[in-house]
Structure 1
Amino acid sequence: MLRDAIVGGAPAEVFASANMEHPRALAEAGRGGPAVLFARNRLCALARPGLATTGADIVDRMLDPRIKLGTSTPGSDPSGDYAWAVFRRIDAQRPGSLAVLAGKALRLTGGPASPKPATERSVYGTLVERGEADLFLTYCTNARVAAREVAGARVVDLPEAIAVGADYGLAVMNGAAEGAYRLALFILSPEGQAVLARHGFTAPNTPMEER
């Protein structure tokens, strides 16, 4: 949604996205410079307090009709797109799972009608704490923050067979101020990369399984 807003004329100087294709699209539309990979992430499951699950049985839990499965909104937010990529990988192992998972997934964030999250805490932790989702597929960095905020919530790593990685890209927009270039260069610098690493992101030059 943000990419489309910028293409439509919304002001921006540096655009960063969890999907390299979005800053690339802005470059192709003539709105900015080339997209540069600046971090990597993965999808994890955030489990509500009291829900016993591990990586070994996470697929069974996701498919369980009694389990409320939260995701972001595909087509509007990269996290939702990555969740559907996980569903497709599960479907490759268990044919028919894509339809089940897509049908039951609660698109609780990232959409045009999604409620704005409170600024003082994680929206994912809030949703799990309220009982709106038993499991929430989100970036591992988000899940770890939420698990620290909600007593008893846990982060579950997805098995390698269904794991999906996210490449983060940034681009400086045309006409940006000098400070925008300084910000982009700082993010790419060793100091900026160290900040990202402290928050759980992986450096761009670290190999990650292809999506």
Structure 2
Amino acid sequence: MPRYMIGLLAIVLILSTPARADTLKVMSAGSLRAAITELLHRFPRQSDTIDPPEFGASGLMRQKIENGAAVDVFASADMEQPRQLATAHPERLVILFARNSLCALSRSNLGLDQTNLLDKLLDPTLRIATSTPGSDPLGTYSWEVFARADALKPGARATLEAKAKKLVGGGEKTPPLVPGKGAVEGIFQSDAADVMLIYCSAVPALQKEMPSLASIKLPPALTVDPADGMVVLNDKPVALRFVAFVMSETGQDILRSHGFEPVASVAPAKP
């Protein structure tokens, strides 16, 4: 029997097993906070208990799990952190569940567009904020953008890495710059930077809080394609049912409503 058939039969068996009361603990990337919160709220949990989810930089969340944090499902803003948790654990399932894209968020008076973005970023007077590479996939993606820039303008990578200010994603090393405000809001409210590379899914909420900010999607020559991955850390039926819900049409529609690109659904049929 093909391996994919064995996997499908295993899922059918799990989903058809009589429900028992259990507890679900989810740990997730901060960029997924709104989406995961709604997914947990709308998850048909039957008699299960849902523990409060925990959010933070994906790399730091992975380290907490490696250090013994009791978690059933981990959702990351990349595939690398889930894959690391599955290393030497073939029973742990790693699943691509959504995609994202990168935007440049800036002060509107900068006049950024896709044709002048790289020149503006290289301007010595322009201050760039990023997340922290290694601790947070957003920082790693930003460094990948800098590497792509080098192919367009030799030396751009070194210049951009040197001037980038790692102001978020480092846990206790990068506390919010404005108490009571989100980390990215604080960067602009405290005038710590002029532009930041950020997930496009996060832009609407940030612009709602700060309407003066402008955003553009990165041009094709600079863009990278963030992929969001989950890892199921044990064989709890409730954990597998939650992942199945995330991959269902309802779950994928929830992700779409939060600005993510679904990977397991199609556009509704035209009437």
Separation in 1, partners of 2:178, 2:99: 25
Asked if structure 2 preserves the Cα contact closer than 8 Å seen for 1:122 and 1:142, the reply is no
Match of 1:42 in 2: 101
Compute the displacement of 1:36 (Å).
Answer: 0.4
Aligned 8 A contact 1:54 1:156 in 2: yes
Quote how far apart the aligned CAs of 1:143 are.
2.4
Moved more, 191-200 or 140-149: 140-149
Q: Residue 7 of structure 1 contacts residue 31 of structure 1 at CA under 8 Å; is this kept in 2?
A: no
Give how far 1:169 is off. 0.5
**Structure 2 CA distance for partners of 1:121 and 1:187, relative to 1, 3 Å:** farther
Tell me which residue corresponds to 2:220. 160
Task: Say whether residues 1:75 and 2:134 are aligned partners.
Answer: yes
CA contact (8 A) 1:43 1:139 kept: yes
Question: CA offsets, 1:49-105, max 9 Å, x none?
Answer: 422211111111111111110110001110000000000000111110111000000
User: Percent of aligned pairs with the same residue?
Assistant: 39
Long gaps (5+) in structure 1: 207-211
How well do the aligned residues superpose, as a CA RMSD in angstroms?
Answer: 2.2
| 2:123 paired with 1:88 | no
Structure 1's 167 and 57: CA in aligned 2 closer, same or farther, altered over 3 A? same
Residue pair 2:99, 2:261 contacting (<8 A) in 1 also:
yes
TM-score, normalization: structure 2?
0.70
Q: CA deviation at 1:160?
A: 0.3
User: In the aligned structure 1, how far is the partner of 2:123 from the partner of 2:202?
Assistant: 24
**Number of positions where the alignment pairs a residue of Structure 1 with one of Structure 2:** 205
Which digits, 9 at most, give the CA deviation of each residue in 1:140-194, with x for residues without a partner? 112232122102101111110111111111011125x433223222111110110
1:187 alignment partner AA = V
Alpha-carbon distance in 2 for matches of 1:115, 1:178: 37
Contact 1:69 1:135 in 2 (8 A): yes
Q: Which amino acid aligns with 2:130?
A: T
Give 1:24's aligned amino acid.
R
What residue ranges of structure 2 are gaps of 5+ in the alignment? 1-59, 266-271
Show the counterpart of 1:58: 117
Report which of the two structures shows the higher radius of gyration computed on alpha carbons.
Answer: 2
Residue 17 of structure 1: aligned partner: 76
Give the CA deviation at 1:31: 8.7
CA offsets 1:120-155 (integer angstroms, 9 cap, x no match): 764323312321121011111122321221021011
Bigger fraction of residues in helix:
2
Please report the TM-score for the alignment, with normalisation by the length of structure 1. 0.89
